Amino acid sequence: MDVRSSAIFIAQNAQYVSVDPAACREVAAGIYDQIQRQKYSTQTWATHELNQRCKLLDTEGQVDWVFTVDTLNFSFWSDRETSERYTVEYNGKKYTGYWSLCAAINRALDEGIPVTTPAFWRSDEFNLEACAHIFRSCTAEQIPLLDQRLAVLKEAGAALANTAFSDVLRSCNCSASRLLDWVTTNLQSYNDRFVYRNMKVSILKRAQILVGELWACFNGEGLGRFDDIDNITMFADYRVPRILYRLNCLRYSDQLEAVLRAGTLMESGSDAEIELRGTSIEAVEQIVHHIKTEHPETAVNAILVDFYLWDAAKAQEQSATIPCHRVRSVFY
């Protein structure tokens, strides 16, 4: 089942989470207005200061930067206090969460470490000690899943032994679905699929955000051109579900709410986790449907709505009404 069909199937069968269609319809206009007002577009991507370092590289370098970041783009949440949580210091600023990853990659590049190069990932020089150095923290907490971060880059280095990722991209001929197939077939860490109610469902968060960030980085042109870009859905992470809950687009069962408020670790592949992720995709699909119905000419798609919601969620991080769900996973 593809991601969209999976999201519909999950939403229809969910026990712990439900999508509120009326709320999705209500918030659609407001989200569209905000996106218009903030002139939110693919160009917004390069306004993030850490993404600007990527834009200083040549085209191949930018592709490798995005591919490296999205191969490592998972599991930054912490149960430590803010001052103690994993933090990367770069150019005199401290970064946590997803931005700590970008800061670590940029810091390594500035230090002359070829951290975005598959040949380096394959080399004996790139071992657990080197990986720990690249992702070193300025607090007591180290980056979560360090071993898995080494493993996913080793896997990618092996898969790219005879080709550059930019050549893989060119071979997809502007087809996002072909790129999704390539990464999920050749890289198990991207194969974000589960069995749910006896059906094989696809969430593909990192495979899809890889497409989304290439599209944004190159403003939909050149190696960022995907003729089927509007088939990409929202990226089912652990942050956007929380903002959809705040907007009443998602409603949690009492049992799930208790688990989230207690900060209980949830199992990767559990029904509750799959339902949180699948219903989030379905809620954003409904929001995008209302936006496109109201504004048929708009360029707004699930990627821009996702980027907008994620950036908004980060801005409101302190005033969240309920904690993110906690799963340790290489998928998101």
Ligand X SMILES: Nc1nc2c(c(CN[C@H]3C=C[C@H](O)[C@@H]3O)cn2[C@@H]2O[C@H](COP(=O)(O)O)[C@@H](O)[C@H]2O)c(=O)[nH]1
Figure out which of the listed residues 65, 98, 194, 245 binds ligand X, where binding follows CB under 6 A.
98
Verify whether residue 237 is a known catalytic residue.
yes
Question: For ligand X, which stretch binds (CB under 6 A), given 87-95, 237-245, 257-265, 271-279?
Answer: 237-245
Q: Identify the three-state secondary structure at position 247.
A: coil
Confirm or reject binding of residue 311 to ligand X (CB under 6 A).
Answer: yes
* Cβ atoms of residues 305 and 291 within 8 Å: yes
Question: For ligand X, which stretch binds (CB under 6 A), given 83-91, 154-162, 192-200, 304-312?
Answer: 304-312
Query: Residue 15 Cβ, how far from ligand X at the closest point, in Å?
Result: 23
List 20, 70, 192, 237, catalytic entry: 237
What tokens appear for 166 in the block? 């930019």
Confirm or reject binding of residue 135 to ligand X (CB under 6 A).
Answer: no
**Residues 212, 120: Cα–Cα separation, whole Å:** 26
For residue 191, the tally of other CB atoms under 10 A from its CB is 16
Show the DSSP H helices in 200-239 as ranges: 205-217
**Residues 85, 53: Cα–Cα separation, whole Å:** 24
Figure out which of the listed residues 16, 65, 67, 77 binds ligand X, where binding follows CB under 6 A.
77
Site for ligand X in 3-62 (CB under 6 A): 44-45, 48
What tokens appear for 129 in the block? 């000690």
Question: Which amino acid is residue 134, in one-letter code?
Answer: I
Confirm or reject binding of residue 239 to ligand X (CB under 6 A).
Answer: yes
Site for ligand X in 171-230 (CB under 6 A): 213
**Residues 167, 165: Cα–Cα separation, whole Å:** 5
How many whole angstroms from its chain centre is CA 127? 25
Figure out which of the listed residues 16, 90, 235, 252 binds ligand X, where binding follows CB under 6 A.
235
Confirm or reject binding of residue 73 to ligand X (CB under 6 A).
Answer: yes
Nearer to ligand X, 196 or 307 (CB): 307
Residue 327: which residues within 8 A CB-CB, separation 6 or more? 75, 238, 265, 266, 267, 268, 270, 273
Question: For ligand X, which stretch binds (CB under 6 A), given 14-22, 189-197, 271-279, 306-314?
Answer: 306-314
Q: Which residues bind ligand X (CB under 6 A)?
A: 44-45, 48, 73-74, 76-77, 97-98, 213, 235, 237-240, 306-307, 310-311, 332
